[in-house]
Amino acid sequence: MVDYNLEVLNPHSLHSSFFHLSRNDPIVGFNFDCSSIAGHVVPPNDFGIDIAMKQDLGGLYLRLLLCSHLAQHVRHQLEEHKGYSSTVGISTSKLLSKLVGNVNKPKGQTTLLPPYNASGGSESNVTAFLDEHDIGKIPGIGFKSAQRIRNHVLARPVAFDAGLVYGGTKDNVKVRDVRMYPFMGVKVLEQLLGGPGAPKDIAIKIWRLINGIDTTESIQEDSYIRLDTMAEVERELRLLSKSLLTRIRIDLSCIRDNEDVSADNQGEHTADSISPSREWLAYPKTLRLTTRPRPPMNPDGTRSRTFNRLSRSCDMPSLILNLDESIEHLSETLVRDTLVPLFHRLHPERSGWDLSLMNLCAASISLTAASARDGAGRDISKMFKMQDLVLKHWKVADTDTAPVNCYSADVDERALENLEKKPYVTGKETLGGVVGEGGRDGAIETIQGCDSSWESDDEGPWPNYNCAKCGLAMPDFAMIAHERFHDFPD
């Protein structure tokens, strides 16, 4: 649309220009003044189109000028017919458009003027505009990433305001401070932000954002005019789940080297025929579904603006870890078995939710075991080191305990010699020594201080009886068998 209006623009009548909204119908459009940019500008030094700009009708300045008048027309139509106010930022990328759109909120629009590249020793407007922003305010740089960058630049932990979890800090580190920091670049950012579980090329992405480079395409956000039937919800859940699964595979997995393939597979395939497989660097443990119902209409026909959201979480199904399955099949299973029941828990009503936003989130990222010796993740050596501490409540200790007061240090050596030579007191000779005539009255000599009683789990010692024929002492249950021994002939 902008290209077409550049072609038909009359440079000799800029004050009475016409913006064409259709190539096929020349009367569909609106009148506008092409001699100046509509709305606010950054930096605020717009004095109209100079002679050089008039000669270069296809230049960046004129394209931004046309976009500013188109944005103003859309904003006015939206407010006139729908009653909604809006804010617009105009530039060449999502990054710059978002930042410049925040300059004149609410109900304003701002255009970032060229030059966008430094030339002739002068600084570009992009660099000058970005340098005044805190590093945490740059879209695409999250809270934790910004915190690590601040800690590195300040060489100490960042001090936060009391009561704040995400947002303002007492130490304001601007983009200029990061960009001009000694040796700052992709390698330093990779050391700070990289590692298993981090998005691919995170250092290159953030370094480009710091320098005002953003190549991501502008797509329609997950915001709906009216989403209040189950068929529409399932359709959107399939789209969101496919996008989420694709991002999980890209950011949290990597291609496994061919040398890591098992020996069985090596015997069946050659190195050239083995297709590269992927392995997980980290995996999410929580799946969260978030929705935002639209508030009801006010009596005057307007609608209050709200940011309240509803969310429910559950354990991430293990099926997403199957890297051999297609994303389409995983998405269908995830929607049917997990997301639809989760949505019913969030909205028990059958219909009429009037949702304006729906979002899927994979959270609680857990690192997997690393294959490299110096890699991050769960280390099996740490598991064995922590084994005693973790299993101490269920561990049975088998230790030898010395008897109490047995064989004291002042044992008489003569008593030991007498014990070895004379194990029993008096009586008839037997194979092991001498059996006392008094049965159990012939006790074994003991050393002073040593307990000679036999410890047993039974109720007590068996009563002994002496054989009438041989005088041998034995328990009562053995006497019958012993008497039969004497009855047999020699």
User: What is the reported pLDDT for 75?
Assistant: 93
User: What is the reported pLDDT for 220?
Assistant: 58
User: Among the listed ranges 42-46, 140-144, 233-237, 268-272, which one has the minimum average pLDDT value?
Assistant: 268-272
Give me the mean pLDDT over the 142-161 stretch.
83
Give me the mean pLDDT over the 342-348 stretch.
90
Strands 109-112 and 40-42: parallel
pLDDT at position 264 over 50: no
**91 band by pLDDT with thresholds 50, 70 and 90:** very high
Give me the mean pLDDT over the 82-106 stretch.
90
Q: How far is CA 287 from CA 95, 308, 431, 459, in A?
A: 28, 20, 80, 62
Give me the mean pLDDT over the 321-340 stretch.
92
User: Among the listed ranges 17-21, 204-208, 275-279, 297-301, which one has the minimum average pLDDT value?
Assistant: 275-279
- In a 10 Å sphere around its CB, with 0-12 CB exposed, 13-18 middle and 19+ buried, how is residue 363 labelled? exposed
Contact criterion met (CB below 8 Å) for 290 and 309: yes
**409 band by pLDDT with thresholds 50, 70 and 90:** very low
Higher pLDDT among residues 406 and 212, named by residue:
212
Phi, psi of 385 (to 5 degrees): -65, -30
Q: What is the DSSP letter of 405?
A: T
User: What is the reported pLDDT for 5?
Assistant: 86
User: Among the listed ranges 49-58, 91-100, 281-290, 330-339, which one has the minimum average pLDDT value?
Assistant: 49-58
Q: What is the DSSP letter of 316?
A: P
User: Among the listed ranges 188-202, 337-351, 398-412, which one has the minimum average pLDDT value?
Assistant: 398-412
pLDDT at position 376 over 70: no
Compute the distance between CA of residue 377 and CA of residue 367 in angstroms, rounded to an integer.
Answer: 5
**175 band by pLDDT with thresholds 50, 70 and 90:** very high
Strands 109-112 and 88-90: parallel
pLDDT at position 104 over 50: yes
Most confident of 3-7, 187-191, 248-252: 187-191
Higher pLDDT among residues 460 and 34, named by residue:
34
User: What is the reported pLDDT for 223?
Assistant: 56
User: What is the reported pLDDT for 12?
Assistant: 83
Compute the distance between CA of residue 206 and CA of residue 178 in angstroms, rounded to an integer.
Answer: 11
Give me the mean pLDDT over the 170-191 stretch.
89
User: What is the reported pLDDT for 83?
Assistant: 84
Percentage, residues of the chain above pLDDT 90: 27
Compute the distance between CA of residue 226 and CA of residue 207 in angstroms, rounded to an integer.
Answer: 39
Three-state SS letters, 41-94: EECCCCCCCCHHHHHCCCCHHHHHHHHHHHHHHHHHHHHHHCCCCCCEEECCCH
Compute the distance between CA of residue 479 and CA of residue 387 in angstroms, rounded to an integer.
Answer: 56
Higher pLDDT among residues 403 and 81, named by residue:
81
Higher pLDDT among residues 226 and 329, named by residue:
329
Phi, psi of 230 (to 5 degrees): -65, -35
Give me the mean pLDDT over the 142-168 stretch.
73
Give me the mean pLDDT over the 401-423 stretch.
49
Give me the mean pLDDT over the 298-324 stretch.
82
Contact criterion met (CB below 8 Å) for 63 and 57: no
User: What is the reported pLDDT for 349?
Assistant: 81
Contact criterion met (CB below 8 Å) for 464 and 440: yes
Contact criterion met (CB below 8 Å) for 152 and 192: yes
pLDDT at position 99 over 90: yes
pLDDT at position 427 over 60: no
Average pLDDT score, the chain: 76
